[in-house]
Structure 1
Amino acid sequence: MTNSAAHLFPLAATIAGATPNSGLRARLKKVAPRPLPHTDGRTQHLQRMRAVAGGRSDDLVFVGGSAAAVWGLPMLGAWPPTVEALAGRHERSRQNGAVSWRRSDIGDDDLEAVGPWFVTTLARTLCDLAVSAPFVAAVSALDHGLKPTVTADGGRVYCGVEREELIDLLRRRRNDRGRTRALAAIGFADPAAASSGESLSRVQAYRLGFPPPLLHPRVDDERGAAEHPHFEWQTAYGEFDGVDRYARALPDGARPTADVIWNERRREDRLRGRGKAVARWTWEDAWNPPRLRSILLSVGVRPVRRAAFSPDAFGEWVMSA
């Protein structure tokens, strides 16, 4: 950004240099998320952000998971229960009512206006998630953010980021805490992954020692028609079956019809006709490493190294360095 954050964001200078007054803090304590309809987690988080912003007389700079919600990034797992906003330069990170205040070395070039929101840039948001989120959640967000475009809240389309930009930004951070794991997540990310379920599956398969698959390869059947399975290994194709896979072809609230299921079965038969087995798994399988391992072994996919799992600071089992 060429303009200074202080010019674009009326509150930026206040946040960076002073502690907001106690009156504003007191009002924030009274802000509670409005009653939410049965919506997805990102939509609910955005509603919490609107509720918090409506309780202030000035503007907030949203960071972390809240910035991810504005940028339209997926959050593999639960969205933050509180809104995440930038703390003052001389303040500590802490939770105050409905807001978690995050202390950070954010500069003017790290801020951007996205519709009505003031947030960290897409690149900075992805770097922050790579540092702070569990590895699999970071990879899911990075897979999405590395695509040519992203669709932010409000429907506006923005350019995605380049991997080299993220690496450079990460290396320029003053605090190197979490940098090694963040670089691993950035290096592992692949914009060819079409969904968070595919991102999760790819991470788990790697953790289990399986070779990396090709993503969405073109497979021509005997008639010359092209299919694009989610994954391809030497002996098998892999298909992640998320609910949205069938829902995309149906009206809102409709259940998969016999025709939809039959067409998918015919597609699977055409893939088998190319001489490879087809493995299918669901969210429950992808979150269960022993089950996913059994599924892949059953179609002849073999590990090429020992499974590399170790507990991280979040209690999640992640790749050993």
Structure 2
Amino acid sequence: MPVPRVDVARRRDLLAPGDNRRLSRNVRSGEWVRVAPGSYVVREAWAALTPIERHRLRVDEVVLRLQTPAVVSHLAAAALWDIDVLGPWPTAVDVTIGRTTGGRSGGALRRHALGLDGVERIPFGRHEVTSAAQTALDLARALPFVRAVTAVDQALWSQRRGGPLCTKDELLQALERGGPRRGDVRARRAIDAGEALAANVRETQVRVVAIGLGFGIPRLQERRVLRSGRLVFGDLYSPDHDHWVEIDGRGKYLSPQFGAGRAPADIVLDEKDRENEIRREVRGFSRLGATDADHPGRMYDILTGDGLPSTKPRPRTR
């Protein structure tokens, strides 16, 4: 993933007598954001970055200051490989160290004393970073199931520019390399659940939660040519019940890349026309908000209310 193009102010580079005082004043006022110890970015520039871009910038700034070579891993390596993961990004940078190396996490680093035997890594400046397959495997071992599958899906994503970062076979080979490790059972389950067609972490989350709620295994990126000749792709599709599922995020209506210069109202109207055409050609249609899968009971109600049957009862909610 390329380094975000953002001007970074570093204390060690400030030479003018008043620079340090000016920087401290800007940080206290909120005009500048602390990215890493001694590194700051204008708040507007920081806000314009995506969460994964922010973490990539943080990784670069922290690694730049390290005096001894390190192995960047886990979520820090994920940011470098552009492996998005559901949930918040940490404020510390992950590194993997030897089992007997010692040293505790703290400050800008989060150390994982897991050992480096069998850990696949490549050069990263004077440091190293775990390979894409190793990174996805490390996250699959460490994260809760749904978040783990999002990492696996992102590594396998077939529509990525330049192609997928790895294959499922490579993930399984990495799992066997170096002998048994804690989290192997969890990782194998996440790898088995991985799919190469999930375009983003919310699609992965909805798929995994839907399967857990008893809605069966859907097809991803269902391709249809409508009667009007329009080519459409569905996020999820249940072939057993001819049920089409769309996942709506705010980016669909606000993103410059998606909008291509169109007004949000025009995008909404076009999306409504598209939905009406699809509804005429399938038995059932559901539209989920980007965060509905955060609330399984709500998601269950939406899908069953739209006519998609489940083999399980509604989940209990607090």
TM-score normalised by the chain length of structure 2: 0.77
Asked if 2 retains the 8 angstrom alpha-carbon contact of 1:93 and 1:102, the reply is no
Asked if 2 retains the 8 angstrom alpha-carbon contact of 1:207 and 1:308, the reply is no
1:94 aligns to what? 104
- The 3-state SS of whatever aligns with 1:91 is coil
How many residues are matched? 272
2:221 aligns to what? 216
Asked if 1 retains the 8 angstrom alpha-carbon contact of 2:74 and 2:135, the reply is yes
What is the one-letter code of the residue matched to 1:59? P
Stretch deviating more after TM superposition (38-47 or 142-151):
142-151
Asked if 1 retains the 8 angstrom alpha-carbon contact of 2:94 and 2:111, the reply is yes
What is the one-letter code of the residue matched to 1:261? V
Stretch deviating more after TM superposition (285-294 or 94-103):
94-103
1:287 aligns to what? 294
Alignment equivalent of 2:93, drawn from 83, 87, 112? 83
TM-score normalised by the chain length of structure 1: 0.76
1:249 aligns with 2:254: no
Asked if 1 retains the 8 angstrom alpha-carbon contact of 2:157 and 2:198, the reply is no
Once the two structures are TM-superposed, the CA of residue 122 in structure 1 deviates from its matched residue by: 0.7
1:54 aligns to what? 64
Once the two structures are TM-superposed, the CA of residue 231 in structure 1 deviates from its matched residue by: 1.2
Return closer, same or farther for 1:159/1:262 CA change in 2, 3 Å cut-off.
closer
Whole-angstrom CA distance in 2 between matches of 1:173 and 1:33:
38
1:112 aligns to what? 122
2:84 aligns to what? 74
1:177 aligns to what? 182
Whole-angstrom CA distance in 1 between matches of 2:223 and 2:195:
17
What is the one-letter code of the residue matched to 2:115? D
- Structure with the larger RCO, 1 or 2 (CA within 8 Å, 6+ apart): 1
Q: How large is the Cα RMSD of the aligned pairs?
A: 2.6
Stretch deviating more after TM superposition (112-121 or 60-69):
112-121
Once the two structures are TM-superposed, the CA of residue 34 in structure 1 deviates from its matched residue by: 2.9
Query: Which consecutive unaligned segments of at least 5 residues does structure 1 have?
Result: 1-30, 152-156, 310-321
- The 3-state SS of whatever aligns with 2:245 is strand
Whole-angstrom CA distance in 1 between matches of 2:38 and 2:313:
46
- The 3-state SS of whatever aligns with 1:228 is strand
The 5 Å alignment of 1:31-50 reads: 32=37, 34-36=39-41, 37-38=46-47, 39-50=49-60
What is the one-letter code of the residue matched to 1:189? G
Asked if 2 retains the 8 angstrom alpha-carbon contact of 1:235 and 1:300, the reply is no
Whole-angstrom CA distance in 1 between matches of 2:158 and 2:120:
20
Once the two structures are TM-superposed, the CA of residue 306 in structure 1 deviates from its matched residue by: 5.8
Return closer, same or farther for 1:226/1:77 CA change in 2, 3 Å cut-off.
same
Superposed CA offset, 1:124-164 (max 9, x none): 1111011001211111111111124756xxxxx47521112
Quote the sequence identity (%): 28
Whole-angstrom CA distance in 2 between matches of 1:95 and 1:218:
47
Stretch deviating more after TM superposition (267-276 or 103-112):
103-112
Query: Which consecutive unaligned segments of at least 5 residues does structure 2 have?
Result: 1-35
- The 3-state SS of whatever aligns with 1:278 is strand
1:164 aligns to what? 169
Stretch deviating more after TM superposition (201-210 or 98-107):
98-107
